[in-house]
């Protein structure tokens, strides 16, 4: 009976593939630029060369970078193009700059047409592989880190590479307990969905791929939006109306979570983090999981977005996953309201050196400002600085003797709110400098001489504290008003502006896209930029996320750190007076902390996994690796339980607890 079932499955699978192939043969087409693309291409080049902060020079050097970056974006794993294709493209290496000036994007389409043919060929090859038996007992491996791989030289190498690639995908499913019928069907549907995505591709998509390979050379925050993407910018690209509360972006074949919206369903689940990768999406509690590898970002968004109260399931490859093992996360869609992202305050009661203390903790998810309410004259409009001021006054009433501002995972927001928030802790004075693309420097100041909180304070940050968070933390640090504790911040110290290209040109009744470009840079009042280096904490914790993988420094094209003259300001505190002593206390205390040791172990394990070059194709070896990881988890949980029972340590917020301890030691 089982053999008959397998035979029927294969019969229908073969028919399924045949239908897929036949349907795609009628839709596989030759892409070519449309009339508006040449003009849009020229306009983007003019904006980058004249108005971008970096002022991109249009020359052979830029042309060479365009070619390399376009190929990298299309085929980052070097699994589609042949070495002979790359050799052919070398003819274009010094021609893209001339084409940019002339508005000629045809070479990009020529490259994409070959890419499309190669992808189609490999999908058909994979369908053939899935009809064959796979031997998971042989000692073999697949090169997963292909940064240093060479381009494929022959069809034999091509087939061997894809055989290993498909086998690695199958092993992940098989080792998870899935039968042949199940895992082969999952992979078959995965590649059929990829065929459908390939068939949906339009000329505008190809143009967008190419132009963004140009814009990101200027810097990673400069992007071209097609007319469709521009219209959906505030809805489709950010699922903050009715969805899971996350901003997504494409990265290689994956859809990656760029940011989790504070207070949203994804954030509340505690199961989705920035830089997680979405592998598949399912509707409701029982709906089929649809694989979304290599999908267009807008199509992935349309699957995830939905009505409030409905359920969506995501198969996620976590940023800290071990062994590429995925997990299924179930999220109920909801609306994101401003109150969910608002600052929240609480009191932490602690006893130190026999003395009870109350520490006020204010968690700030983002720098928000309800502009619409403010403009219509609502006296109670919500803003970061207004809400935090109320919280501070309430914490004073409750007897707080010190305050912690928690900016971890705060990706920024309103610049003016960062300035006004700084003003709650200092007298009138400069907060940040802004240098534009012409070289003009503007100094933004807090002009309110009143101080809401004069007592001891500190600021908590991590790798995903960015932009406005970095401006506030840097100002508190420069004024010596409080200590900054945690991980080095993201390093996003640039300002973007959006230009609608339709204002420059009209193409009949059609539309052209928009460009978001970097036009200014933030600098501390002490002169250094927050860009690239971020804010380095006074008391620094090691982080799970390497600066080579996450943050501004992870981008090859990020604007560099530099300095301008400092402004005239005077310290308004003495938070660093005992800094050397505090560092020594911190090192000594953390050396005795089991949870700190757990953190170091997690960092080492995550780093080893990220830097892993090969994935085993032997089922026994792979299962042994998984079993080892599971055993480590069990040992860890047992240790945590013992610590809790003995009362020595209880699992909690390591950095927050340490910040409270150091803050109290700093004022004694």
Asked if residue 163 lies in contact with residue 126, where contact means CB atoms within 8 angstroms, the answer is no
Residues in the chain: 668
Residue 22 annotated as catalytic = no
Give the whole-angstrom CA distance, residue 206 versus residue 190.
22
- Collapsed DSSP state (helix, strand, coil) of residue 158: helix
- Which tokens is 304 given? 């995830």
Give the whole-angstrom CA distance, residue 77 versus residue 68.
13
Asked if residue 78 lies in contact with residue 153, where contact means CB atoms within 8 angstroms, the answer is no
Categorise residue 127: left if φ over 0, alpha if ψ from -120 to 50, beta otherwise.
alpha
Task: Pinpoint the alpha helices (H) of 130-242.
Answer: 155-174, 180-200, 203-218, 227-231
> Which among 99, 276, 420, 478 is annotated as catalytic?
478
Asked if residue 368 lies in contact with residue 382, where contact means CB atoms within 8 angstroms, the answer is yes
Phi/psi of residue 374, each to 5°? -65, -45
Give the whole-angstrom CA distance, residue 158 versus residue 81.
9
Give the whole-angstrom CA distance, residue 141 versus residue 163.
11
Residue 467 annotated as catalytic = yes
What are the strands, taking DSSP E only, across 389-512?
A: 402-406, 429-436, 441-446, 457-461, 483-486, 494-500
Residue 478 annotated as catalytic = yes
Residue 251 parent element (H or E): strand 246-251
Residue 278 parent element (H or E): strand 277-283
Say how many C-beta atoms besides its own lie within 10 A of residue 91's C-beta: 9
> Which among 40, 168, 236, 467 is annotated as catalytic?
467
> Which among 165, 435, 492, 521 is annotated as catalytic?
492
| Dihedral sign of CA atoms 55, 61, 66, 68 in order | negative
What are the strands, taking DSSP E only, across 30-184?
A: 141-143
Give the whole-angstrom CA distance, residue 483 versus residue 469.
14
Q: Choose among 610, 557, 599: nearest CA to 275.
A: 610
Q: What is the 3-state secondary structure (H, E, C) of 306-321?
A: CCCCCEEEEEEECCCC
Give the whole-angstrom CA distance, residue 649 versus residue 593.
8
State the catalytic residues.
467, 478, 492
């Amino acid at each position: 009976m089982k053999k008959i079932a397998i035979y029927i499955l294969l019969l229908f699978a073969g028919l399924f593939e045949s239908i897929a192939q036949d349907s795609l043969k009628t839709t596989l087409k030759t892409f070519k630029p449309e009339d508006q693309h040449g003009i849009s291409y020229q306009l983007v080049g003019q904006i980058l060369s004249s108005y971008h902060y970096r002022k991109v020079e249009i020359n052979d050097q830029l042309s060479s970078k365009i070619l390399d970056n376009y190929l990298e974006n299309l085929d980052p794993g070097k699994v589609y193009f042949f070495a002979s294709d790359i050799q052919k493209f070398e003819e274009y290496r010094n021609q893209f700059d001339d084409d940019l000036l002339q508005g000629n994007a045809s070479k990009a389409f020529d490259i994409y047409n070959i890419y499309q043919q190669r992808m189609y060929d490999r999908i058909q090859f994979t369908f053939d592989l899935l009809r064959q038996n796979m031997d998971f007992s042989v000692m073999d491996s697949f090169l997963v880190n292909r940064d240093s791989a060479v381009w494929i030289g022959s069809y034999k190498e091509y087939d061997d590479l894809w055989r290993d690639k498909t086998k690695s995908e199958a092993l992940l499913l098989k080792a998870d307990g899935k039968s042949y019928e199940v895992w082969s069907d999952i992979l078959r549907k995965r590649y059929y969905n990829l065929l459908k995505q390939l068939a949906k591709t339009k000329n505008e998509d190809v143009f967008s791929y190419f132009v963004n390979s140009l814009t990101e050379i200027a810097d990673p925050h400069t992007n071209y939006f097609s007319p469709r993407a521009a219209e959906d910018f505030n809805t489709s690209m950010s699922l903050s109306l009715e969805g899971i509360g996350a901003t997504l972006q494409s990265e290689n074949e994956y859809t990656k979570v760029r940011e989790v919206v504070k207070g949203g369903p994804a954030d509340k689940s505690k199961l989705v983090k920035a830089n997680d990768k979405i592998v598949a999406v399912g509707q409701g509690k029982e709906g089929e999981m649809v694989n979304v590898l290599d999908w267009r970002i807008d199509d992935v968004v349309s699957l995830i977005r939905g009505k409030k109260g409905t359920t969506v399931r995501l198969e996620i490859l976590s940023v800290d996953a071990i062994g590429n093992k995925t997990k299924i996360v179930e999220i109920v869609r909801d609306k994101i309201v401003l109150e969910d992202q608002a600052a929240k305050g609480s009191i932490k009661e602690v006893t130190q050196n026999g003395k009870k203390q109350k520490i006020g903790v204010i968690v700030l998810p983002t720098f928000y400002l309800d502009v619409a309410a403010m403009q219509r004259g609502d006296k109670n409009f919500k803003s970061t600085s207004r809400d935090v001021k109320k919280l501070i006054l309430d914490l004073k009433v409750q007897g707080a003797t010190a305050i912690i501002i928690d900016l971890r995972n705060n990706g920024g927001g309103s610049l003016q709110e960062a300035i006004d928030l700084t003003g709650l802790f200092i007298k009138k004075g400069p907060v940040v400098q802004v240098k534009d693309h012409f070289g003009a420097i503007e100094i933004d100041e807090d002009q309110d001489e009143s101080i809401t909180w004069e007592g001891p304070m500190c600021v908590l940050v991590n790798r995903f504290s960015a932009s406005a968070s970095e401006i506030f933390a840097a100002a508190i640090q420069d004024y010596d008003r409080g200590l900054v504790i945690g991980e080095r911040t993201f390093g996003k110290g640039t300002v973007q502006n959006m230009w609608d290209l339709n204002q420059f040109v009209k193409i009949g009744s059609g539309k052209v896209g928009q460009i978001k470009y970097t036009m200014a840079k933030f600098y501390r009042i002490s002169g250094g930029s927050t860009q690239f280096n971020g804010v380095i904490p006074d008391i620094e914790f090691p982080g799970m996320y390497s600066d080579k993988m996450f943050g501004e420094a992870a981008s090859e094209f990020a604007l560099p750190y530099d300095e301008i003259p400092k402004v005239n300001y005077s310290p308004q505190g003495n938070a660093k007076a005992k800094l050397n002593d505090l560092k020594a206390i911190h090192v000594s205390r953390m050396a005795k902390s089991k949870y700190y040791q757990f953190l170091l172990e997690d960092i080492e394990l995550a780093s080893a996994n990220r830097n892993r070059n090969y994935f085993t194709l032997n089922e026994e070896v792979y299962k042994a690796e998984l079993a080892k990881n599971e055993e480590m988890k069990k040992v860890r949980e047992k240790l945590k339980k013992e610590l809790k029972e003995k009362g020595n340590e209880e699992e909690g917020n390591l950095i927050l607890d340490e910040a409270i301890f150091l803050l109290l030691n700093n004022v004694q």
